[in-house]
Chains A and B, each alone.
Chain A
Amino acid sequence: MAKVVMRIWRGDSEGGEFQDFPTEVSEGEVVLDVVHRIQAEAAPDLACRWNCKAGKCGSCSAEINGLPHLMCMTRMDTLPTEEPVVIAPMKTFPIIRDLVTDVSFNYEMARRLPPFAPKAPGPDGTYRMQQIDVERGQEFRKCIECFMCQDICHVIRDHEENKEHYAGPRLFIRYMELESHPLDTNDRRELLRQEMGLGYCNITKCCTEVCPEHIKITDNAIIPLKERVVDASYDPIAWLGRKILRRTKKSPEEAANYRRDPQVAGSAK
């Protein structure tokens, strides 16, 4: 058993400080195991989120030695033990208590996304799609919503004022998922450009580096989205194509209000 000091941030929106918890670590333990032991033995009110403890739910995100990690997937034996292991809440979101932050920004941005609007099914009432066509979207649907990509993104990490008009990497992969979805019919490109702040991202790939699902956020979502948005706005060939195919690009308002699904349309406020 190795001895280690866990230096954990304690406090709330009013302020706080790091508190040291000396502890011993057993073989195979992850950071969350140690945090749980501290809760059970030393600090029952130490606040942290967790659910699955298997890297599947994305609840236990925190900044370990300065970088976002899932506490349940970070083995203690991968961390240096000579120095205290520093655990802090995600910086981009307002603190509720200790390691728990208010991540409602992400849920709000999800609400502002114009929902999936499928084309009509085939004659038998079902859809046919090829595996190769669903795989692009499946990559993005691996997202466990740990929000660490949002946390590390400097557009909002150091600029609270950008949150109002910046969807962030988590939502960009969602937009790309719908953009590449074989069944979706809406065109959200102008919305992305004008209201979701796609242009703010200067592709430093920080989000990709922290993604626990290894989703290539920048290469497979943000860069292709930027290309498509530019195509939609400026490319003369795309412009000609739109004229010929009579495909008109939707304004942000049109995209936001576009509904193919009558059940959704019926309940829209």
Chain B
Amino acid sequence: MAEYEQIDFDVIVIGAGGAGLRAAIEAKQRGLRAAIVCKSLLGKAHTVMAEGGAAAAMGNVWSEDNWMVHFRDTIRGGKMLGNWRMAQLHAQESPDRIHELEAWGALFDRTNDGRIHQRDFGGHRYARLAHVGDRTGLELIRTLQQRAVALDIDVFMETKILRLLKNSSGEISGAVGYQRPTGKILVFTGKAFVMATGGIGRSWKYSTNSWESTGDGHALALWAGADLIDMECMQFHPTGMVWPLSVRGLLVTEGVRGDGGVLRNSEGKRFMFDYIPQVFAAETADNEAEADRWYDDHINNRRPPELLPRDEVARSINAEVKAGRGGPHGGVYLDIATRRSADFIKRQLPSMYHQFKELAGVDITAEPMEVGPTCHYIMGGIRVDADTAASTIPGLFAAGEVAGGLHGANRLGGNSLSDLLVFGRRAGMGASDYAEGRTSSTAVDRAEIDSVVAEATAPLTREVGENPYDLQRDLQDTMQSLVGIIRTESELVQALDVINSLKERVKNVAVNGGPSYNPGWNLATDLPAMLSVCTMVTKGAIERKESRGGHTRDDFPAADAALGKINFVQRVNDAGEVVVAPEPLPEMPDELKALLEEGAH
């Protein structure tokens, strides 16, 4: 039998990015015993890498902005697949969440009259992103981290959760995991659990995501019996670094384009004018002169096509490179050097300046950057109730990237940081309400813990077997080439075969060394989640026989109106297999539908 330490709290949050921290803060402020469990050190979660800003219709730069325009932009940007109630709450509550950060010590960039400055971003009608230069994620996570410290919230750092545990009546009541520094097994019991584990991008070869983004929360929820939605909807960020190879995939903020940068092909042409889709034609400039005037006058000019939603821009770059008009390393050129002064660039985009200078030897104030699409974000995730962030299993809540619904088929830049704040808080509230009302036992099954621990530690006991790094590389190659930005049925089916064969190979992983801070073993325990999540993405992608947002099918290049009213829901059946079921989207109320019309604002 496994030896373990048992730890009990009221609300246990898994993940210490923006959503997890905000959820724990809410629970603690309510007077509950709240704890955070996270895979890295506190303050290192993926939120720290967010650059551009947090979208909130405060109207500080353009007084015409309000929550209704933000709602419209979010739903249309998500290609009508988003959950209307989540989009409404998000648009309405983001300004308060940003102001709250100031009361906790955040220092955003200012307008001339001393309010929070807001920058332009793709798909947002008005300049809407509260920011600090191009390191907004750092400001957000540090502010929340310092607030959590001030509230004396318990944090279990560098702890990986392996499985959620239920009580005898099926409520989530525990989680079993291990501390990475020691390998010691911990069992957390609690009245409510919040999943805030972020994304899944580690399973692609070229990705903006870190080693942590293995989809633990998606997989833990799936295994526990929760519903997930829209798992086929992955976002490929249009602008990742492409050279040198060692940094391929690294994020180049959309703020470069928001602040005046443009995309050019190898012929020097601003090619985005050739890719304006009908649905955005009325609000997108069709000539360079108008596009350039827009930066100073949003009212009388239409937005530059470089600021179309990310799915459009990523596909366009892909098409230009395929047509032979790319740069020497398979990207296109992102040029801000000829458009803005060196001073302006260094002030607004200091971390981009630094990143290109140090890693690529490119001075972005003097020459263009070469960029291309990179795996960035999953719109899909755990199916939640918009108001309470409750999942479909009792006792489990979810917020942030691991939750699905808000962003539909494509997320607008800047909507992620505000998502974390709005729904992190709501998940904290939902979990606190649940914990306060819960009277049932939180006892968990000892035998189940033993079996989870035995499975997780098996790689340490095998003398010979598969190298976990080989499996990870094979998975990344497969997802990159077969389940990437442009998909087709035969390749997706082939990917599923590879994933299934990897599921067999993972049963035979062997690692040397012991349980104390052993990255090989840590990876071995991440692989089951990665494989489950990749299964869901691929199965969803096979089912959605159309192109919509981040999901593009070569064999079904057009959007299908009927599928636009469907979420593909995934769950495990009694045999433990992932099944996909189409279910209708929640019906949007008429007064919100009216907001989507062109000219409604």
Q: A interface vs B, CB < 8 Å?
A: 12, 26-30, 33, 39-41, 44-59, 73, 75, 96-98, 100, 102-103, 107, 110-111, 115-116, 118, 121, 125-131, 134, 137-138, 141-145, 178, 181, 183-184, 261, 263-264, 266-269
B216-227 interface code vs A (CB 8 A; 1 in, 0 out): 000000000000
Q: B interface vs A, CB < 8 Å?
A: 28-29, 31, 40-46, 48-49, 99, 102-105, 107-110, 113-115, 117, 132-133, 135, 137-139, 142, 146-147, 149-152, 181, 210-212, 243-247, 250-251, 351, 354-355, 358-360, 467-470, 473, 511-514, 516-521, 523
B110 touches A57 (CB 8 A): no
A126 touches B115 (CB 8 A): yes
A145 touches B43 (CB 8 A): yes
Task: Give Cα A48–Cα B251 distance, bound, in whole angstroms.
Answer: 23
Q: Besides A51-B212, A138-B107, 20 other CB < 8 A contacts?
A: A28-B359, A33-B246, A41-B469, A44-B511, A44-B513, A45-B514, A53-B210, A54-B355, A56-B49, A57-B44, A57-B210, A73-B358, A96-B517, A100-B181, A103-B41, A115-B149, A134-B110, A138-B132, A141-B132, A268-B152
Q: How far is the CB of A36 from chain B (nearest CB, A)?
A: 9
A51 touches B467 (CB 8 A): no
Query: Which residue of the partner chain, among B107, B114, B513, contacts A137 with CB atoms under 8 Å?
Result: B107
Q: How far is the CB of B348 from chain A (nearest CB, A)?
A: 12
Q: How far is the CB of B500 from chain A (nearest CB, A)?
A: 23
B48 touches A44 (CB 8 A): no
Report chain B residues within 8 Å CB of A44: 467-469, 511-513, 518-520, 523
Q: Which residue from chain B places its CB closest to the CB of A45 in the assembled complex? A: B513
Report chain B residues within 8 Å CB of A30: 246, 359
Report chain B residues within 8 Å CB of A26: 244-246
Task: Give Cα A54–Cα B351 distance, bound, in whole angstroms.
Answer: 10
**Interface-central residue, B46, B107, B109, by most chain A CB under 10 Å:** B107
Task: Give Cα A180–Cα B152 distance, bound, in whole angstroms.
Answer: 24
Task: Give Cα A111–Cα B523 distance, bound, in whole angstroms.
Answer: 31
Task: Give Cα A39–Cα B470 distance, bound, in whole angstroms.
Answer: 11
Cβ contacts A to B, 26 pairs, < 8 Å: A12-B516, A26-B245, A28-B243, A28-B245, A40-B473, A44-B467, A44-B512, A47-B517, A51-B212, A54-B251, A57-B43, A97-B518, A100-B517, A103-B41, A107-B42, A115-B146, A128-B114, A130-B110, A131-B117, A142-B138, A144-B48, A181-B107, A264-B150, A264-B151, A267-B29, A268-B152
Report chain B residues within 8 Å CB of A103: 41
Task: Give Cα A48–Cα B517 distance, bound, in whole angstroms.
Answer: 8
Report chain A residues within 8 Å CB of B351: 55-56
B152 touches A269 (CB 8 A): yes
Q: How far is the CB of A87 from chain B (nearest CB, A)?
A: 15
A28 touches B360 (CB 8 A): yes
**Interface-central residue, B113, B147, B150, B523, by most chain A CB under 10 Å:** B150
Q: Which residue from chain B places its CB closest to the CB of A263 in the assembled complex? A: B29
Report chain A residues within 8 Å CB of B49: 52, 54, 56-57
Task: Give Cα A137–Cα B142 distance, bound, in whole angstroms.
Answer: 13
Q: Which residue from chain A places its CB closest to the CB of B469 in the assembled complex? A: A40
Q: How far is the CB of B459 from chain A (nearest CB, A)?
A: 10
Task: Give Cα A96–Cα B45 distance, bound, in whole angstroms.
Answer: 21
Task: Give Cα A125–Cα B58 distance, bound, in whole angstroms.
Answer: 13
A47 touches B40 (CB 8 A): no
Query: Which residue of the partner chain, among B104, B109, B137, B511, contacts A45 with CB atoms under 8 Å?
Result: B511
Q: Which residue from chain B places its CB closest to the CB of A44 in the assembled complex? A: B520
Q: How far is the CB of A109 from chain B (nearest CB, A)?
A: 11
A28 touches B244 (CB 8 A): yes
Report chain B residues within 8 Å CB of A75: 358-359
Task: Give Cα A111–Cα B28 distance, bound, in whole angstroms.
Answer: 16
Report chain B residues within 8 Å CB of A269: 152
Task: Give Cα A58–Cα B145 distance, bound, in whole angstroms.
Answer: 15
Task: Give Cα A168–Cα B235 distance, bound, in whole angstroms.
Answer: 41
Report chain A residues within 8 Å CB of B152: 111, 267-269
Query: Which residue of the partner chain, among A27, A59, A96, A102, contacts B44 with CB atoms under 8 Å?
Result: A59
Task: Give Cα A143–Cα B43 distance, bound, in whole angstroms.
Answer: 11
Report chain A residues within 8 Å CB of B467: 40, 44
A129 touches B132 (CB 8 A): no
Main SS class of interface, A: loop
6 tightest Cβ-Cβ pairs between the two chains A and B: A28-B244, A44-B520, A45-B513, A115-B150, A128-B114, A40-B469
Task: Give Cα A143–Cα B359 distance, bound, in whole angstroms.
Answer: 20
B40 touches A59 (CB 8 A): yes
On whether A96 and B114 interact (CB within 8 A), knowing A28-B359, A131-B109, the answer reads no
Task: Give Cα A127–Cα B147 distance, bound, in whole angstroms.
Answer: 18
Q: How far is the CB of A112 from chain B (nearest CB, A)?
A: 10
A28 touches B247 (CB 8 A): yes
A116 touches B105 (CB 8 A): yes
Q: How far is the CB of B123 from chain A (nearest CB, A)?
A: 24
Report chain B residues within 8 Å CB of A144: 48, 138
Report chain A residues within 8 Å CB of B113: 128
Report chain B residues within 8 Å CB of A263: 29, 151
Report chain B residues within 8 Å CB of A145: 43-44
B114 touches A49 (CB 8 A): no
A116 touches B150 (CB 8 A): yes
Q: How far is the CB of B182 from chain A (nearest CB, A)?
A: 8
A59 touches B355 (CB 8 A): no
Q: Which residue from chain B places its CB closest to the CB of A27 in the assembled complex? A: B244
Task: Give Cα A266–Cα B151 distance, bound, in whole angstroms.
Answer: 9
Q: Which residue from chain B places its CB closest to the CB of A134 in the assembled complex? A: B107
Q: Which residue from chain B places its CB closest to the CB of A54 in the assembled complex? A: B250
Q: Which residue from chain B places its CB closest to the CB of A118 in the assembled complex? A: B103
Report chain A residues within 8 Å CB of B511: 44-45
On whether A98 and B250 interact (CB within 8 A), knowing A51-B40, A181-B105, A264-B151, the answer reads no
Report chain B residues within 8 Å CB of A54: 49, 247, 250-251, 355, 359
Task: Give Cα A33–Cα B247 distance, bound, in whole angstroms.
Answer: 9
Task: Give Cα A30–Cα B355 distance, bound, in whole angstroms.
Answer: 13
Task: Give Cα A263–Cα B519 distance, bound, in whole angstroms.
Answer: 40
A141 touches B44 (CB 8 A): no
Task: Give Cα A52–Cα B517 distance, bound, in whole angstroms.
Answer: 19
Report chain B residues within 8 Å CB of A142: 135, 138
Q: How far is the CB of A116 from chain B (nearest CB, A)?
A: 4
A129 touches B516 (CB 8 A): no
Query: Which residue of the partner chain, among B142, B150, B354, contacts A141 with CB atoms under 8 Å?
Result: B142
Q: How far is the CB of A240 from chain B (nearest CB, A)?
A: 32
Query: Which residue of the partner chain, among A45, A116, A131, A137, contacts B146 with CB atoms under 8 Å?
Result: A116
B359 touches A73 (CB 8 A): yes
B149 touches A111 (CB 8 A): yes
A52 touches B150 (CB 8 A): no
**Interface-central residue, B108, B139, B473, B517, by most chain A CB under 10 Å:** B517
Report chain B residues within 8 Å CB of A73: 358-359
Query: Which residue of the partner chain, among B210, B469, B473, contacts A51 with CB atoms under 8 Å?
Result: B210
B244 touches A97 (CB 8 A): no
**Interface-central residue, A111, A125, A134, by most chain B CB under 10 Å:** A134
Q: How far is the CB of B12 from chain A (nearest CB, A)?
A: 18
Q: How far is the CB of B346 from chain A (nearest CB, A)?
A: 12
A45 touches B244 (CB 8 A): no
Task: Give Cα A154–Cα B358 distance, bound, in whole angstroms.
Answer: 28
Report chain B residues within 8 Å CB of A134: 107-110
Task: Give Cα A184–Cα B245 distance, bound, in whole angstroms.
Answer: 45
A45 touches B358 (CB 8 A): no
Report chain A residues within 8 Å CB of B31: 266-267
Q: How far is the CB of A196 from chain B (nearest CB, A)?
A: 16
Q: How far is the CB of A259 from chain B (nearest CB, A)?
A: 9
